[in-house]
Structure 1
Amino acid sequence: MDTIYNIPKSETVSFRKFLDEFVNELKGTEFPKNDEDVQRLIGMQSKNSEYEKVKSSTSLEMLDSPDDVRVAPYVPGVNEFKRKTAKQNLTNDARLNSLQKLIKEKEASAGSPFIKTRESFKQVHKPVSPENHNLQPYSDVVVSIRFYRPKTDTPLKRRTYPTFSEEFQCLGSNFLSELRDKISCVCNKRRFFELSNNPRVENPEKLSDPGFFFIENTFYNDMRNPTNADYSEVIREWSAKKAKGYEKLRFQTRSMEETRFIDLEVSLGFPQLYQHHGNCEHLFIFSYVELLSKHTCLVRELYPLLKSVNTYNAKFCHMCGKREYAYVVKNSKRQLHDPAYLCSVCFISFHYVNGKKVDEFNAYRLVSYKEKLDDHESYTVEHLEVFDEIEDDLDDEDEPSPSKMIKNEAETAMK
């Protein structure tokens, strides 16, 4: 990783050692719980009047003043102050050509899903009432983990860089498998296969779901399902026989469902790897470790806790730019992008005529055929009915076609 991403590796940190050292420091420390404890610790047991003067003079209320300038806390993605547009900032005395062109450019791109802002991710807040707290402060560590999409080389030889995806906070007592269950990815639902000749066929359900975390030369495999394959086996065999310069390196293997975060020793800020669904890779780093305190979430059931998410994780259709994509098209000479991400409307209307495939391409669907793929079901149904008429070899003749099912749901909703 250090040679690929040019990131120096720092010394490893043991989460268990970090917690034990702090607990040992706390054993000889007394924390005051009330005014009597504070008065005793500062040596004013019998000086009540003097203690009250000291207490009033050091009150936090003394820091407030009605003349103070209001400072609003900045939270990425959550901003109560609306920024003024270029047009609102424009005055009659400063009608510059550069500002006029800027206004026209912004008006032309208004509403486009591809435009980014300075607030590229948002924090997720989970307000919880104190009566639901079931964790004691300083009893555990909280580890922040940030996930990224890895860099790739495009067909035009332009290299993309890792892009932030989402951030979690995990307790030291959490298992690695608990984090894996909360990682979002389009590959989590079903297995994908080529369906351009029959776009109505369903994707097969997952009977197994192998994957691993690669952390500090150790593969943590998900073996909760007995049918899960060990993805790391082929990598370990390759490194032992064919990897030049790494013949002496011996990778370890453990089960993620039996490993807690408190048992790890990691290098903070150094890229690690999560891989599943064959070759679907996610980079992640351990960005921060802190002690569980009264300022952090004290509800065990919420961990691993999603803290922030990239607002650009959802991709839009490459053709219309209005709806989220449902199909991935590859090896098509009629598309500008490869792969191309298309919604169901654009995919069916552009690649099929009277139910027949136009030209050669490969297509993969990310959701179930029977799900509502977008907000334009009526337009989609008109094209799906072509496949319903062609496919007359259904096992059950009484079974309604997918287009009829969507139409029936729409009619029910109208009523």
Structure 2
Amino acid sequence: MDEVYGFYNKTSSETLDLAKYFKEYNDLTNLKSLAGLRSNRNEKAGILEIMQMDVNDEDFAVLSEYCSIENLTIPGESFEKYDDTRLGNRKGTYEVKEIPKDVNLETLTKLKERIGLPQRPFVHNLKYRSEICIEPEKVETFKCNSLMEPGNEMLVFVRIYAPFVHQHRLSSVYVSKIFTTHIVAILGSQTLAELRDIISCTSDLSIAKEVSANPDAGARQPQAKEVYKSGFFYIESTFYNDFRDPSNMDNSEVIREWAKKRNLGPFKTASMESVTINSLSVKFGYPWVYQHQGTCEHLLVFSDARLIGPSDNLTISSYPRIHRMRASSTKYCMVCGVFAASWITTHNDRLPHDPCYFCTTCFHSFNYIDGKKIENFLAYPVPFGDVAQD
């Protein structure tokens, strides 16, 4: 497949065996010592252990004051110290102090041009401007039975992209805009099946059955993910299928047969519930595929990986979790334009739009008289639609 998608190698890493890479990384003596220092509740004891020193409290206090970070500042500095917000990886603003006129640093000159002081007194963190940081739930560690030890578990971040359309329109190729919907943080010891369960997609939540004859039964219909449970990940020439349910199918079979006729492959198969993240060999920054509901395909990218630190949530049950997500726009009713859509209709001769979105009130008032359908149309409930209106 590298022959077909080799151009992605320019922006991706080499193939990394995650378990081997982090074992070698964690075996470094200084990293173990640093983890011991950070996880040591008695900071003084941890520092003295690393320094291999034995000093009394008075000498330690003098040493701490001498080595304090406050001593790194000098009189007349242009900027005051600010809180480090990088650990949050969140969208936010940072207040900028007045830039001195007698400083000729090129960086400050460019900064002044960028923010246009005094008209724009804030600098926006543009990297995460379209994403919302999801704060993890605070769990009291003394109530947890299973906690991770810093440095002994890896944390992997996976970017999930929205499904997109790629089709030919006459002689041109039409490709819809590709964007990230959410970023998942998952432990190396967890499986691909657990990764699949945390991925959120509207097609999983839709109602698979047409209910125009009895719309009141729409909410009682099973969601698509409860009916069509098959799916797979394609990572490094391997299709990882979900076989947790005995009725699940191997959706990759038709793809493998198609590829075989075109001399592509060979490809391997495995069950996603038996494969852990740390057992994978992946390229970071390279697009892989998650497919579900038969034809709904998402690109996914392994974007980052690191060892769990003492500042992370050490509760195993808190993972996998949504780390960041993209804000989505609401689809409004095409009739009133006020309420969010909760119904979608198709093949309705009385409407200029196909499909057409309705809120609950407009759907019933336009398409039914005394509970009976007007003309012919198909109706489906929309996930995340509006609540019942009075």
Structures share fold, TM-score greater than 0.5 = yes
Shift of 1:339: 3.9
2:386 corresponds to? 374
Change (3 A) 1:189 1:51: closer
Structure 1 residue 324: deviation in Å? 3.1
Pick closer, same or farther for the CA change 1:360–1:153 going to 2, 3 Å. farther
Using a 3 Å threshold, how does the CA distance of structure 1 residues 333 and 64 change in structure 2: closer, same or farther?
farther
Aligned to 2:381: 365
Q: Which residue of 1 is the match for residue 132 of structure 2?
A: 122
Structure 1 distance, partners of 2:70, 2:314, is 28
CA offsets 1:168-203 (integer angstroms, 9 cap, x no match):
100000011112122222333465133345434443
Q: Structure 1's 373 and 172: CA in aligned 2 closer, same or farther, altered over 3 A?
A: closer
Q: Given that residues 219 and 254 in structure 1 are in contact (C-alpha distance below 8 angstroms), is that contact kept between their aligned partners in structure 2?
A: yes
Match of 1:282 among 298, 308, 320: 298
Give the deviation of 1:233 after TM superposition: 1.3
Partner residue in 2 for 1:60: 69
Tell me, what secondary structure is at the counterpart of 2:198? coil
Aligned mates of 2:68, 2:216 — CA distance in 1? 69
RMSD in angstroms over aligned alpha carbons?
Answer: 3.8
- Residue type at the aligned position of 1:134: L
Match of 1:250 among 266, 288, 291: 266
Distance 1:165 1:155 in 2: 25
Distance in 2 (alpha carbons) for counterparts of 1:76 and 1:45? 39
Compute the displacement of 1:40 (Å): 6.5
**Aligned counterpart, 2:116:** none
| Amino acid aligned to 1:239 | A
Looking at structure 2, the residues matched to 154 and 14 of structure 1 have their Cα atoms a distance apart, in angstroms, of: 35
Shift of 1:159: 4.1
Task: Flag the 1:355–1:182 CA change in 2: closer, same or farther, 3 A.
Answer: same
1:199 aligns with 2:199: no
Distance 1:40 1:355 in 2: 78
Aligned with residue 186 of structure 2, among 170, 191, 215: 170
Q: Distance in 2 between matches of 1:46 and 1:353?
A: 88
Q: Deviations over 1:39-92 (max 9, x none)?
A: 47547546876654332111235468999365584867765899xxxxxxxxxx
Residue of structure 2 equivalent to 1:296: 312
Where do residues 229-240 of structure 1 align in structure 2 (5 Å cutoff)? 229-240=249-260
Distance 1:234 1:23 in 2: 42
Equivalent residue number for residue 26 of structure 1: 29
Distance 1:265 1:366 in 2: 39
How has the CA–CA distance of structure 1 residues 239 and 153 changed in structure 2, closer, same or farther, with 3 Å as cutoff? closer
Tell me what 1:135 maps to: 148
Shift in alpha-carbon separation, 1:40–1:143, aligned structure 2, 3 A = closer
Q: CA deviation at 1:229?
A: 1.3
Provide, for residues 142-190 of structure 1, a one-character-per-residue CA deviation record: whole Å limited to 9, x for no partner: 0001111133269998642112211110000001111212222233346
Total equivalences in the alignment: 335
What is the rounded CA distance, in whole Å, between the counterparts of 1:153 and 1:30 in structure 2?
Answer: 51
C-alpha distance in 1 between matches for 2:28 and 2:259: 44
The aligned amino acid for 2:248 is N
From the superposition, tell whether residues 171 and 337 of structure 1 become closer, same or farther in structure 2 (CA, over 3 Å): farther
1:274 to 1:319, Cα distance in 2 relative to 1, 3 A: farther
Given that residues 39 and 51 in structure 1 are in contact (C-alpha distance below 8 angstroms), is that contact kept between their aligned partners in structure 2? no
The verdict on how the C-alpha distance between 1:347 and 1:65 changes in structure 2, with shifts beyond 3 A counting, is: farther
Tell me the distance in 2 between the aligned counterparts of 1:135 and 1:239. 43
Structure 1 stretches of 5 or more lacking a match? 83-117, 379-415
| 8 Å CA contact retained: 2:240, 2:270 | yes
* Preserved contact between residue 77 and residue 120 of structure 1 (Cα < 8 Å): no
Which of the residues 15, 20, 24 maps onto 2:18? 15
Question: 1: distance between equivalents of 2:227 and 2:387?
Answer: 31
Corresponding residue of 2:243 = 223
CA contact (8 A) 2:15 2:282 kept: yes
Please give the alpha-carbon distance, in whole angstroms, between the structure 2 residues aligned to 1:374 and 1:180.
27
Match of 1:262 among 278, 283, 290: 278
d(CA) in 2 for partners of 1:253 and 1:237?
Answer: 13
Output the amino acid matched with 1:374: D
Q: Distance in 1 between matches of 2:322 and 2:61?
A: 44
- For the residue of structure 2 that corresponds to 1:346, the secondary structure is helix
TM-score for both structures, normalised by structure 1: 0.68
Change (3 A) 1:343 1:141: same
- The partner residue of 2:159 within 137, 146, 151 is 146
Deviation at 1:344, TM superposition (A): 2.3
Query: Is the Cα contact below 8 Å between 1:193 and 1:364 reproduced in 2?
Result: yes
Aligned partner of 1:148: which letter?
Y
Residue identity matched to 1:309: M
**C-alpha separation between the residues in 1 aligned to 2:191 and 2:53?**
48
Greater fraction strand: 2
**Cα offsets for 1:254-309 (capped at 9, x unmatched):** 11111100111111111121111221222211110111111222110011021112
**SS of equivalent to 1:212:** strand
Q: How do residues 95-106 of structure 1 correspond to structure 2 at under 5 angstroms?
A: none
Distance 1:289-1:326 versus aligned 2 partners, 3 A rule: same
Q: Which has the larger displacement, 307-316 or 347-356?
A: 347-356
